[in-house]
Amino acid sequence: MSKRELLSVFSKIDSELIGANTLRLIETFSPTLNEEAASKLYCQILREYGLEAELDYVRPGRPNVIARIKGAGAGPNLLIGGHVDTIFPEGCTSPRIEKGRVYGRGANDMKGSLISMAAAAGAIKQSGVKLNGELLLAAWVDHEEPEGVGIGPRDVARKILTRELRADGVIIAEGPFDSIAIAQGGCARFEIHVTGRKGAPHTITCFMKSNPILWGSMIVEELYKMDQELESAKRNPLIPLRKSIQLGNLHAGDFYNRLPDELKIVGTIRWDPDEDLATVEKNLRERLNRLENTIRNSLDSDVKIRVALTLSRESSEVRSDERLVQVVQEATAQEFGQALPLSGWRIVADQPFFVHDAGVPAVYYGPFTEDDTTAHSNDESVSIERLAAMARVYANSALMFCGYTS
């Protein structure tokens, strides 16, 4: 596409309208499990941009939103998407526009990005450029943990796999602004339950070696040893943060001189794209089984250690030579004067559903930078000009990936 033609598309991207529509969407709260009102409004906004859009209910009262610009030829299809739900709104600054930023819950994560997607597709539609392949937009529900388990993005991925939606690549409109994320570490929550003698006898009748709290301290020591091993392991070159084990909760007992019936340890474990949940779980169980045998043989035969892992997101990665990656790099090069580097992250997000479940490449490009990420904070906000720049990158990526006729 000539520079003149591209500028014609970009001229349809209205920063002021992006800010106003982002504020509209923020003012319609959509905490996880309660997304319907915001999904309906986003569907309406997409139609205002001239797009075909529809609600796609994945659960009663919980619709994804799907929009499209149909392709005129036989080019590949691109989907740009992200989640419409937010964390709880309580405690967040009031929705408003001030000094070039939009404030309120969801501004940064990720209602501003949804509007950038809409503005990009609307600019292509209004410019009269005919895409060869189809451009799809998707806004899905059920992302934010702990309530969200990925029902919305998983359903989009399922539809891609079954060809109900035809997509050959996915741009997820959250993530870094100064790089393109192509890899994600995996994450799971673990619960370790430790039990021993039943009946909560008075501690005067028991030795310390029979106390689940002592056994729990040994488990914590073993988990720390595992984390130290992860710290010294070779790091993934794309992901700055290392693999880790971390503790969040430890609870035992109901009275100071009664032997606890049970001790519970809750935490997270994170791994790299060259591993998966099955491998991580096998390693953790084997180490805890060995520790249980040690306690049984040397301290108390009543000990039982059980562990359960709940997957937050699997790890995933796409190849750097994928055409989608190269297209987004070229689009950022045209926007910023140089192609952005490739990166990875450990935040729980939705790439794995598309890479593993749908079998298509997916990358992240969004509004986050190290010094300007307010997602989930009480002062959540996003730069309107940054959202406009993202819209230009999305529009240019769609033109290059799908192909077009002037």
Which DSSP state fits 224?
H
Q: Does the pLDDT at position 376 exceed 80?
A: yes
- Of 298, 313, 328, the residue that ends a domain is 313
CA distance 269 to 311: 10
pLDDT, one tens digit per residue, over 201-243 is: 999 999 999 999 999 999 999 999 999 999 999 999 999 899 9
Measured CA to CA, the distance from residue 405 to residue 9 in angstroms comes to: 13
One domain, residues 168 and 193: no
Length of the chain: 406
Reduce the DSSP state of residue 325 to 3 states and report it.
helix
Residues 168 and 281 placed together within one structural domain of the fold? no
Same-domain check for residues 255 and 356? no
Cis bond leading into 352, ω under 30°? no
pLDDT digit string (tens) for 340-361? 999 999 988 999 999 999 999 9
- Same domain? 180 vs 81: yes
User: What pLDDT is recorded for position 7?
Assistant: 84
Q: What is the pLDDT of residues 273-302, one digit of tens each?
A: 999 999 999 999 999 999 999 999 999 999
Over range 239-256, report the average pLDDT.
96
Same domain, 295 and 324: no
Average pLDDT, the chain: 96
Percent of the chain with pLDDT over 90: 94
Position 8 pLDDT exceeds 90: no
Same domain for 72 and 148?
A: yes
- CATH number of the CATH domain containing 202: 3.30.70.360
H or E element: which one contains 194? strand 186-195
**Last residue in a domain, options 292, 313, 334:** 313
CATH of the domain at 18: 3.40.630.10
Query: Are residues 20 and 145 both part of a single domain?
Result: yes
For 360, the token pair is 């298509």
pLDDT number for residue 92: 96
How many domains does the chain divide into?
2
Residues 386 and 323 in one domain: yes
Question: Which tens digit of pLDDT belongs to each residue from 162-209?
Answer: 999 999 999 999 999 999 999 999 999 999 999 999 999 999 999 999
Note whether 308 and 390 are same-domain residues: no
d(CA 219, CA 196): 14
Task: Look at residues 268, 286, 313 and tell me which one is the last residue of a structural domain.
Answer: 313
Asked whether residue 208 falls in the same domain as residue 167, the answer is: no
Alpha helices in 277-321 (DSSP H): 277-298
Give the model's pLDDT for residue 406: 74
Beta strand pairing status for 78-83 and 135-140? parallel
- The answer to whether residues 264 and 401 belong to one domain is no
CA distance 232 to 242: 9
The pLDDT assigned to 73 comes to 80
Helix (H, G, I), strand (E, B) or coil at 271: strand
Query: Can you tell me the distance from the alpha carbon of 35 to that of 21, in angstroms, rounded to the nearest whole number?
Result: 17
Res. 146: pLDDT tops 90: no
Three-state DSSP class for residue 173: coil
In the Cβ-directed half-sphere of 374, how many Cα atoms lie within 13 Å? 19
Long-range contacts of 257-260 (CB under 8 A, 24+ apart): 257/202, 257/203, 257/204, 258/200, 258/201, 258/202, 258/203, 259/196, 259/197, 259/200, 259/201, 259/202, 259/203, 259/206, 259/210, 259/211, 259/212, 260/200, 260/211, 260/212, 260/213
**Domain residues for 74?**
3-184+315-405
Residue 16 tokens, joined? 């002021």
At 76-133, the pLDDT tens digits run 999 999 999 999 999 999 999 999 999 999 999 999 999 999 999 999 999 999 999 9
Task: Please indicate, yes or no, whether residues 377 and 248 belong to a single structural domain of this protein.
Answer: no
Tens of pLDDT, residue by residue over 380-390, are: 999 999 999 99
Query: Residue 182 corresponds to which tokens in the numbers above?
Result: 């192509």
Q: How far apart are CA 185 and CA 315, in angstroms?
A: 4
